[in-house]
């Protein structure tokens, strides 16, 4: 595909939003597209986390990607409702969109989409949306989302040419939601394109030895959880399952920032020294955790497709996942297990893997192969290119027809 100019619109971007799966997804996607010769711009905000703003340049290049940040009006809304309030976003869109070929929106119910999509539609710019698991009302702030859908969502949905879901379940959610919003003259198209990983980042190196030394793991087999400490991630279920598995020399590593559950989780451990809370890790430390672990486990609900689980596959870790992770392929090829997010079910699979090093090695090899064959960012970017081309061609035909 010839080089195109792509504008990604997202509420948050690196270095931001600790452990945000959407941020990591947009980052990987943007870098892969740049490597394939495209011109990529990110239009985002200055939000870091629920309290801090980005203090660097508001217009800069990061890894070949131009990043334009607009200041948030209210940090209180960012912290309380996870809602960014970008100042001058519409004006910025009016300036940069004439030179853009395609607009790629990330997440659905955002003020960014409300501000950018009318400008893009007026300029007849094709638009693609990646919801990133945000369509479901059960993932939090359900009342706000319902009100948003009644008042604001139908107009935004009518402007979108293509929805790219992460999984078949998200695809079904999107189609149902769009039917409820009502049809348009040129109907929205749908496809499934999963998240990706940069495989070379997850080769096992001395980072494993460094991590072992830092956290005193010795030669004990370690189960890794990586994500926010939030009820939806199921970390409480995992701690109970790990204790129920009752493998004396095993360790459980809980890697991620507190999102309101740390006190409850500490009480759940009952002082068990086999459970280690590392807090938020980034860079080499994050890779070290993946390299040092032997099993990855995530009993989450309402996920789109967790980047952390894909990273674990790329690192060659057998996985124990819930159906909510939308990675049934791991179980289908023998790279891990997909079981209900219940204590007994997870405990059984953890015990099986913790007590059989040979099984872990065989499953880990299949996990790495799965990541390489289905989830490498370069191949995901190639699939995106095909969708971009199809969306652009449809948009051009519509203009000619007018």
Write out pLDDT tens, residues 67-123: 999 998 876 666 556 677 889 999 999 999 999 999 999 999 999 999 999 999 999
Cα Rg of the chain, angstroms: 21
What Cα–Cα distance (Å) separates residue 85 from each residue in 12, 20, 77, 344? 11, 18, 8, 43
Q: Is the omega angle on the peptide bond into residue 15 within 30 degrees of 0, that is, cis?
A: yes
Please report the pLDDT score of residue 17 as a whole number.
44
C-alpha neighbours within 13 Å on the C-beta side of residue 16? 28
Mean pLDDT of 229-245: 95
| Edge-to-edge strand ranges of the sheet holding 127-130 | 59-62, 65-70, 39-45, 5-9, 102-106, 127-130, 162-165, 189-192
- The structure tokens 């059960």 sit at 138
CB 350 within 8 A of CB 295: yes
Please report the pLDDT score of residue 84 as a whole number.
78
- The structure tokens 């004990």 sit at 220
Mean pLDDT of the chain: 89
**Number of neighbouring beta carbons within 10 Å of residue 355:** 13
Please report the pLDDT score of residue 78 as a whole number.
64
Q: Is the omega angle on the peptide bond into residue 104 within 30 degrees of 0, that is, cis?
A: no
| Edge-to-edge strand ranges of the sheet holding 336-338 | 275-279, 251-255, 222-226, 295-298, 319-321, 336-338
Write out pLDDT tens, residues 10-32: 998 875 444 468 888 999 999 99
The two tokens of residue 55 are: 């203090």
Predicted confidence band at 206 (pLDDT cuts at 50, 70, 90)?
A: low
């Amino acid at each position: 595909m010839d080089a195109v100019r792509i504008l990604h619109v997202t509420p948050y971007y690196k270095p931001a939003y600790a452990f945000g799966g959407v941020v990591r997804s947009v980052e990987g996607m943007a870098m892969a597209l740049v490597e394939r010769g495209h011109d990529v711009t990110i239009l985002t905000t200055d939000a870091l986390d629920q309290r801090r703003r980005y203090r660097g340049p508001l217009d800069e290049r990061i890894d070949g990607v131009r990043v334009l940040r607009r200041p948030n009006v209210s940090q209180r809304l960012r912290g309380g409702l996870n809602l960014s309030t970008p100042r001058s976003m519409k004006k910025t869109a009016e300036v940069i969109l004439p030179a853009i070929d395609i607009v790629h929106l990330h997440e659905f119910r955002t003020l960014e989409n409300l501000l950018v999509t009318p400008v893009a539609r007026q300029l007849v710019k094709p638009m693609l949306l990646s919801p990133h698991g945000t369509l479901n009302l059960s993932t939090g702030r359900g009342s706000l989302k319902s009100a948003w859908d009644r008042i604001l969502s139908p107009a935004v949905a009518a402007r979108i040419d293509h929805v790219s879901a992460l999984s078949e379940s998200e695809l079904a959610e999107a189609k149902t939601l769009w039917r409820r919003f009502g049809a348009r003259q040129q109907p929205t198209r749908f496809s499934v394109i999963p998240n990706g990983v940069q495989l070379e980042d997850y080769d096992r190196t001395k980072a494993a030895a460094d991590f072992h030394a830092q956290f005193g793991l010795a030669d004990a087999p370690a189960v890794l959880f990586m994500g926010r400490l939030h009820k939806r991630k199921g970390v409480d279920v995992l701690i109970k399952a790990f204790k129920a598995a009752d493998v004396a020399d095993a360790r459980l590593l809980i890697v991620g920032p507190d999102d309101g559950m740390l006190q409850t989780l500490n009480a759940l451990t009952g002082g068990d020294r086999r459970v280690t809370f590392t807090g938020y890790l980034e860079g080499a430390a994050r890779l070290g955790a993946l390299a040092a672990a032997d099993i990855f486990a995530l009993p989450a609900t309402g996920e789109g497709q967790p980047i952390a689980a894909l990273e674990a596959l790329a690192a060659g870790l057998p996985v124990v996942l819930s159906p909510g992770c939308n990675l049934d392929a791991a179980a289908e090829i023998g790279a891990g297990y997909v079981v209900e997010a219940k204590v007994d079910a997870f405990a059984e699979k953890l015990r099986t893997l913790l007590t059989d090093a040979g099984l872990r090695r065989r499953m880990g090899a299949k996990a790495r192969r799965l990541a390489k064959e289905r989830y490498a960012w370069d191949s995901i970017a190639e699939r995106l290119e095909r969708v971009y081309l199809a969306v652009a061609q449809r948009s051009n035909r519509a203009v000619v027809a007018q």
